[in-house]
Amino acid sequence: MSEKTMEESMPTGELDAKKVLVTGGTSGLGLAMARGLARAGAAVALTGRSGERAREVAAGLPGAIGIELDVRDEASVVRAVAEAWSELDGIDMLVNNAGIGMRTVNPAFRTDPAGFWTVPPDGFRAVVETNLTGYFLVAREVTPRMLAAGHGRIVNVSMNHTTMKRLGFVPYGPSRAGSEALSRIMAADLAGSGVTVNMLLPGGATATGMVPVDGPDGGHDLIDPAVMEAPIVWLASAGAADVHDERIVAVEFEDWLSSRTAV
């Protein structure tokens, strides 16, 4: 989707969630969402394992700040959330996005999928600790602050169900299945609290670097990460104030929103 088309399709309306923390915001889906939110007027804190890189990326977005954060490290999470809360004067929305993919354990996963029994335990732990435990640790640190403030929104980035059970996709598939289960339980735990929880996923393989371009399709048909901009901006808007425990597919967002408003 072109930038012009994306801007034309962007939902309008004033943002309710004006102070947003986006984990893994230096590239890919995280950067696309941070960019969309910043352009819509939100104050965004984006994070990355390299604080220098996070600050460089944030400098290119209006009103954004960059913060060092390793979501696997509890002490790092505590420091980063405290910094974001202080710099933004609160956090209205958390976007749990930081993650790593199959390439970290099997660079040839598309052409030569490996059986789960061949996956190195350290690689398994690294993916699960980032994609699942990381979501838990950041949400665990942010949620009490939101509850004390009386409001907040949490968006957990997920993936297609087919990815969660695909041949050769240990540990990525289980890590994403776990994060989806976590999201559902978080939503149940927070029902009626003033803090909402929703999931957002692109709807297919995206051009983020997690999928190599030398695979069977040569990298064709990969989804532009910009597809995440419109739905994340809408989730920060007044129109999404009561939206809770939804699983929104970005490539189907316009149809989903139309059907929702038609009811």
Q: Is 2 left (phi over 0), alpha (psi -120 to 50) or beta?
A: beta
How far is residue 130 from each of residues 67, 99, 203, measured CA to CA in Å?
A: 17, 6, 21
Catalytic-residue membership of 172: yes
Residues with Cβ within 8 Å of 220's Cβ and at least 6 positions away in sequence, in order, are: none
Residues 186 and 164: their CA atoms lie apart, in Å, by 20
Helix (H, G, I), strand (E, B) or coil at 131: helix
How far is the C-alpha of 82 from the C-alpha of 74, rounded, in Å? 12
- At 132, the amino acid letter reads L
Q: What are phi and psi of 131, to 5 degrees?
A: -80, -25
User: Where does residue 181 rank: exposed (0-12), middle (13-18), buried (19+ CB within 10 A)?
Assistant: exposed
Q: Which residues contact 253 (CB under 8 A, 6 or more apart)?
A: 227, 230, 231, 234
Please tell me what DSSP assigns to residue 15: B
CB 105 within 8 A of CB 120: yes
CA–CA distance, 137 with 133 (Å, rounded to integer) = 6
Catalytic residue among 172, 178, 190, 234: 172
- State the catalytic residues: 172
